[in-house]
Amino acid sequence: MRRLILGLAVLSGAIVVVTGGYYAFIIGDAAMEGESFRAFRNPTGAMEPTLRVGETFTVRSLRGEKGDLLPVRRGDVIVHRWPLDTSKTFVKRVVGVPGDTLEMDKGTLRVNGRDLVEGYAWHSEPGVDPSTEDFSWQRAFLVGDVARDTATYRASRNTWGPIALPPGQYFVLGDNRDNSLDSRYWGPLAADDIIGVVRRVYQSRDPKTGIRWTRLGHRIE
């Protein structure tokens, strides 16, 4: 039996018990009562600084009793299946819901004609703006003046659209806008591929400095 080497700490509405170098997360959040939760690990920097590389986090299911999708809001950080290979799961932020019109101008996201204030977004390469054929899918969703001549449409990572989302389709981006494989590259996310909404950090360890104590129990918003 492993010895209890540390006591317990109360962090952000959660009790964290550390035993033998492992964490047991006991949720002290009344809103989670009776709901279905799973844990996922974040292997990339695509959601930094919101989620750090290597963090494990809890995810509340967004499926009802009959498998129907519960409400998904702009701003939600979700886990979803990757449409190009549904055996893989991604974590991204919802920035567009069905019926929305979206565009980006030099890194500024505009939703339904208004600039979106995104305090969570981070640009690690503000002076770089690649343009590839990965963005060509957008031509089928263009609206406004650019839709009149889709053949000459050229999108880049930081400037594209406007595009309109059809029913049952969502648009997701990584908070690390210059290092994220997201809807800009592979298109809208179908409702059927949404798994759940991210709740709290369950485990966080820096490979060089060890446990990030201030991150344990951190609520993701």
Q: What is the pLDDT of residue 206?
A: 86
Distance of alpha carbon 181 from alpha carbon 179, whole angstroms:
7
Query: Residue 202 — very low, low, confident or very high, per pLDDT cuts 50/70/90?
Result: confident
CA pair distance 188, 180, nearest whole angstrom:
15
| 3.40.50.720, 2.60.40.1230, 2.10.109.10, 2.40.160.40: CATH of 8-215 | 2.10.109.10
What residues does each domain of the chain span?
8-215
Measured from the Cβ of residue 170, the count of other Cβ atoms closer than 10 Å reads: 25
Query: pLDDT-derived band of residue 135, with 50, 70 and 90 as boundaries?
Result: very high
Q: What number is the average pLDDT over the span 185-208?
A: 93
pTM of the model: 0.85
Q: How are beta strands 8-11 and 14-19 bridged, if at all? A: antiparallel
Cα(178)–Cα(122) distance, integer angstroms: 8
Confirm if 15 and 28 have CB atoms less than 8 A apart. Answer: yes
